[in-house]
Amino acid sequence: MQLAVAKIKKHMIIALFLVNIMLGAILILCLNFILWLLRDPDYGTWNKRAFQLIQNRLGDKWSVGFLDMDDLHVCNDKYGYENVNQKIRNALTMRTQKMARTDIMFRYFSGDEIVFVVRDKDARGTAMRILKSLKAQGLSCTMVVGKVSQLDEIKSKIQQMKRDNQRGEIYFLGT
């Protein structure tokens, strides 16, 4: 009888161990899936969903920069889609390696819209460095920087700048 109880205990311990392993694997798969949903595979940045998750949680000490790549379709026709993507990846990689750990980049909508979130005191310098990194890759962008609460105004201003042919420039709202 004691032998049977000992065998049952042994099998229960093994079963619990296996369940633990399976739950751990499921948890890892779920976390990887969530990260996959929030990352942009082309640029290695966070995506628009991730930005929307944190947007309302950012306080007054944060600025957002919205950049729209200039004439990306022309560049794609001239250099090829993958080459242009690589140039953007290179510029963003150079930039994110030099950003503070609190600063974040997001691919906002399509391949030509990128958002970055930085502390207010770093916004102007970060915008200038991003523009410089893109220019070093032979690319141009139009950029507007303002408070996170001004996102609608930022998007309107960038479209106005594009219509007014103010490409390759940075506009700072409220500064």
| CA-to-CA dists, residue 19 to 5, 13, 16, 76, 152, angstroms | 21, 10, 5, 50, 49
The SS3 call for residue 151 is helix
In this prediction, residue 111 carries a pLDDT of: 67
Tokens of 152: 């609608």
Residue 144 scores a pLDDT above 90:
yes
Give the phi and the psi of residue 173 in degrees, each rounded to 5: -75, 135
pLDDT digits (tens, 9 = 90+) for 6-60: 788 887 888 888 888 888 888 888 877 877 788 888 777 888 888 888 888 887 7
Residue 143 scores a pLDDT above 60:
yes
pLDDT digits (tens, 9 = 90+) for 92-133: 776 656 666 667 888 887 768 888 888 888 888 888 888 888
